[in-house]
């Protein structure tokens, strides 16, 4: 079964068009000759963004990510957030051309399936069709443990309430996405809608439904969530996920 693209057509709402155009212009001007292409994912390119609730998610593909200075990129973000306060935040992921082409089940998947090209030549078209398989699921989650550990540490160490809210929301989303990757063989599609992800997990995954409902509730509203309680449940969910991956890897190796 081959994965289809999440966003087939760009439908940016009028209030976000200038933001996207200025982001492209600023990045191209700041990093002349270094940018191969720029992509977006999420609600803005889908045309479903909500002012003061939706953020802007960009991905930059370049020859060498070290050429893109994060401080200069952060300055662009700060200027745009000041000019467009209805955007909650602006995130930018940077990857290399080699990563996209040589890691099709990781960066290739991200650019080809999740994102849509808004500037430059779409390198995702050069990525071979992505077939849903245990190998794909394992490759897709190569960095999941590292990401989860990083968010776990950040949440444990921060005393800032705003950052706690951001980490809990992000951690919940990351775990739900990880669980969803386990059932993509059953669904046949990659969802970027969190409620559809949650429902599919409940339909096809044997994890305790209360854990999934808790994570989803935290994703929606984490203002009153206790950090200690959240981390305990997050650890339980990740333990389930990690065991499922190990079983999948063992099964694949035995068949190989």
- Looking at domain 14-131, its CATH architecture is 2-Layer Sandwich (3.30)
Tell which wins on pLDDT, 220 or 252: 220
Instruction: Give the tens place of pLDDT for each residue, 21-48.
Output: 999 999 999 998 899 999 999 999 999 9
Instruction: Give the tens place of pLDDT for each residue, 152-185.
Output: 999 999 889 888 998 999 999 999 999 999 999 9
Average pLDDT of the residues of the chain: 93
Domain-wise residue ranges, the chain = 14-131, 137-255
Region 139-149: mean pLDDT is: 92
- Among the ranges given (18-27, 125-134, 220-229), the one the predictor scored with the smallest mean pLDDT: 220-229
Instruction: Give the tens place of pLDDT for each residue, 3-14.
Output: 999 998 999 999
Q: Read off the pTM.
A: 0.85
What confidence category does residue 108 fall into, taking pLDDT thresholds of 50, 70 and 90?
very high
Tell which wins on pLDDT, 118 or 161: 118
Instruction: Give the tens place of pLDDT for each residue, 44-99.
Output: 999 999 999 899 999 999 999 999 999 999 999 999 999 999 999 999 999 999 99
What is the percentage of the chain residues whose pLDDT exceeds 70? 98
Tokens 């969910």 correspond to what residue? Answer: 237
């Amino acid at each position: 079964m081959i994965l289809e693209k999440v966003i087939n057509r760009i439908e940016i709402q009028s209030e976000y068009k200038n933001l996207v155009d200025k982001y492209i212009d600023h990045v191209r001007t700041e990093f002349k000759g270094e940018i191969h292409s720029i992509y977006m994912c999420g609600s803005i390119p889908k045309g479903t963004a909500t002012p003061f609730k939706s953020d802007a998610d960009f991905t930059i593909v370049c020859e060498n990510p070290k050429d893109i200075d994060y401080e200069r990129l952060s300055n662009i973000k700060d200027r745009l957030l000041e000019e467009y306060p209805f955007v909650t935040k602006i995130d930018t992921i940077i990857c290399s051309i080699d990563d996209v082409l040589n890691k099709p089940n990781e960066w290739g998947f991200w650019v080809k399936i999740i994102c849509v090209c808004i500037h430059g030549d779409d390198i995702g078209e050069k990525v071979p069709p992505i077939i849903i398989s245990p190998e794909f699921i394992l490759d897709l989650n190569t960095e999941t443990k590292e990401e989860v550990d990083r968010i776990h540490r950040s949440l444990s160490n921060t005393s800032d309430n705003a950052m706690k809210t951001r980490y809990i929301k992000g951690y919940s989303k990351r775990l739900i996405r990880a669980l969803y990757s386990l059932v993509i063989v059953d669904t046949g599609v990659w969802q970027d809608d969190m409620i559809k992800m949650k429902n599919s997990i409940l339909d096809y995954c044997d994890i305790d439904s209360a854990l999934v409902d808790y994570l989803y509730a935290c994703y929606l509203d984490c203002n009153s969530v206790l950090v200690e309680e959240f981390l305990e449940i997050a650890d339980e969910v990740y333990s389930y996920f990690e065991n499922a991956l190990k079983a999948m890897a063992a099964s694949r190796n035995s068949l190989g």
